[in-house]
Chain A
Amino acid sequence: MIVMHIDVNSAFLSWTAAYEQQQGIDRDIRKVASVIGGNEQNRHGIVLARSILAKKFKIQTGMSLMEARRQCPNLLVVPPDYQVYVRASKTLREYLYKFTPDVEVFSIDECFLRFTDLNKEEALSLACKIKEDVKNIFGYTINIGISKNKLLAKMAGNFEKPDKCHTCFPEEIKEKLWPLPVEDLFMVGRKTKVKLNRWGIYTIGDLAKTDPNLLFKSIGVYGHMIYAYANGIDGSIFKASPPIKSVGNSSTLKFDVIDTEIAHAIILSLVEMTAWRLREAEMMCKVVSVGIKDKDFNYISRQKKLPYFTDCTKDIYKNICALFDKNWDSRPIRQLGVSVSGLEFAKFQQLSMLKDKNLLKNEKLDKVIDSIREKYGDTAVIRGIFANSELSPILGGYPDDEYPGMSSIL
């Protein structure tokens, strides 16, 4: 079996750059110190992607734009365009299906391909062809990592960027993986790095040769996992089919929210978007969850399993509000998010006695609202509480859970 990891080189930035070139805008943001960053006035001001030159100024993804400007005063900040990104991601994926039906989407700019009929040489030449084709057809560069499992393929994809194909087969681990610093290993973050360094573990090789029991005693099951990863062992299965695992929307708010009523209204506007996307995908959910980030950036998320499947806006909203009321500690809220998971196709469904008796009516209402919005625009029909209010009736756009930005599950 061969697994390939496809990674778009500084995705948002390359996609914006290619799009600008197509639009005839006379600049290449890839060639200057530039970042893709959100709207600072609405407090979405962080670096989402950076160019290679911006990297030289030590600008990191996730840094605030203010900080980034301090590092590089002439920094070019370009706003993101999620519609462009979603389309780019989708067409890349459709293109990859030409080579294998086994495509696992890992995030908006990363996916895994599985082949069962290739040997190593064939895999490498196919990867080079894919890489060149993507550059020529779609106008941006990718990295491809090739190996026997997802972990090693992902590690290989990160070796040297941009526009490269690398292999990291199990027999190459010693030479290619082990000399790398331990923080380069998947799932080893800043905090773990400090701990490992304290124990004298500096490279992935050091970690691979440590006693796993020692790691287990100090950092638990996680220790076993990174030990296995360092040795190139990854037992995860290849999840080709289900295209979506969860649907959700979140938004950093324009002001800190201290009032339950406003918080509920914001939840409603997020649910409007999420539930619509859920119905659009012809799915129903069984689990609802809410995420709250307070003004000090403390984040909690809580979820609840429902006794039935639903795709009804009102139903999801009511359950999320109940969850919110139970878990919110009244501290000012900076960011709110809702998501639904435990998805199942909506074609057939088990009737439930536990559902609200008005549910059938509400489901019909949802369908009508959806079709009106499709025909006349998103704000053609809005809920009464948003009339004459500052709040936007539908919130969230970037399908962030369809493509989990940072997933710890391989």
Chain B
Amino acid sequence: MKILNEPIKVMVIFHPNKGLESGKIEPVKFRLEDQVVRIQKIQKIYEENIIGNKRIVFVCQHNGKDIYELKYETDSKTWYLFKK
């Protein structure tokens, strides 16, 4: 299944600016076509800034093998799903 840049509904924890997980953004689950997908493991978090459009990228692992990306666009405050 190839999904690119699909805007999605995501449930997220925004950690407060103190303690161990200070300021961390932690996506928990998202909805895709009436199906709720729980985020199992976040492998890597990085920022992309293509032509100044900032997005925080969460590289996630599903069922131990599938890789997909969730991207949070800061300007539009929108979440996107990328899966190749």
A residues touching B (Cβ–Cβ < 8 Å)? 15, 18-19, 21-26, 84, 87-88, 90-92, 137-140
Contact of B48 among A22, A24, A84, A90 (CB under 8 A): A22
Whole-angstrom distance from the CB of A239 to the nearest CB of chain B? 24
A87 and B53 contact, Cβ closer than 8 Å, known pairs A22-B48, A24-B82: yes
**What are 30 A-to-B residue pairs whose CB atoms are below 8 Å?**
A18-B50, A19-B51, A19-B53, A21-B50, A22-B48, A22-B50, A22-B51, A22-B55, A23-B5, A24-B4, A24-B82, A25-B4, A25-B5, A84-B51, A87-B51, A87-B52, A87-B53, A88-B51, A88-B52, A90-B52, A91-B49, A91-B51, A92-B52, A137-B49, A138-B49, A138-B50, A138-B51, A138-B52, A139-B50, A139-B51
Q: How far is the CA of A88 from the CA of B55 in the complex (A)?
A: 14
Pairwise interchain contact A15-B51, C-beta atoms closer than 8 A:
yes
Distance between Cα atoms of A92 and B53 in the complex (Å) = 11
Tell me the nearest residue of chain A to B3, going by C-beta: A24
**In the A-B complex, the 8 residue pairs with the closest CB atoms:** A91-B52, A24-B4, A24-B5, A88-B51, A139-B50, A22-B50, A87-B52, A18-B51
Chain A: interface secondary structure?
Answer: helix
Across the interface, name the chain B residue whose C-beta is closest to A91.
B52
For the complex, what is the distance from the CA of A87 to the CA of B49, rounded to whole Å?
11
**B30-59 CB contacts (< 8 Å) to partner A:** 48-53, 55
Which residues of B63-84 are within 8 A (CB) of A?
A: 75, 80, 82
* Interface size of B in residues (CB-CB distance below 8 Å): 12
CA distance A91 to B55 in the complex (A): 14
Interface contact B82-A140, CB-CB below 8 Å: no
Distance in angstroms between the alpha carbons of A140 and B52 in the assembled complex:
11
Chain A contacts for B55, CB-based, 8 A: 22
Expressed in whole angstroms, the minimum distance between the Cβ of B68 and any Cβ of chain A is 12
What's the Cα separation between A88 and B49 when bound, in Å? 10
* Residue among B49, B50, B52 facing the most chain A CB atoms (10 A cut-off): B52
Cβ 8 A contact of A19, one of B48, B50, B82: B50
A15 surroundings in chain B (CB, below 8 A): 51
Across the interface, which residues of A come within 8 angstroms of B82, CB to CB?
Answer: 24
Which residues of the partner chain B approach A92 to less than 8 Å between Cβ atoms?
Answer: 52
B5 to chain A, nearest CB (A): 4
List of A residues within 8 angstroms of B48 by Cβ: 22
Minimum distance in angstroms from A9 CB to a CB of chain B: 13
CA distance A331 to B55 in the complex (A): 50
List chain B residues, Cβ under 8 A from A140. Answer: 51
Which of B49, B51, B75, B80 has the most chain A CB within a 10 Å cutoff? B51
Most buried by B among A21, A84, A138: A138
CA of A84 to CA of B51, assembled, Å: 8
Assembly CA distance A43 to B48 (angstroms): 37
Looking at the assembled complex, report how far the CB atom of B35 sits from the nearest CB atom of chain A, in whole angstroms. Answer: 20
* Min CB gap B30→A, angstroms: 16
Q: For the complex, what is the distance from the CA of A139 to the CA of B50, rounded to whole Å?
A: 5
Taking the closest CB of chain B, its distance from the CB of A268, in whole angstroms, is 31
CA distance A138 to B54 in the complex (A): 10
Q: How far is the CA of A378 from the CA of B52 in the complex (A)?
A: 24
Chain A contacts for B51, CB-based, 8 A: 15, 18-19, 22, 84, 87-88, 91, 138-140
Report A-chain residues with C-beta under 8 Å of the C-beta of B49.
Answer: 91, 137-138
Interface centre among B49, B50, B55 (most CB of A within 10 A): B50
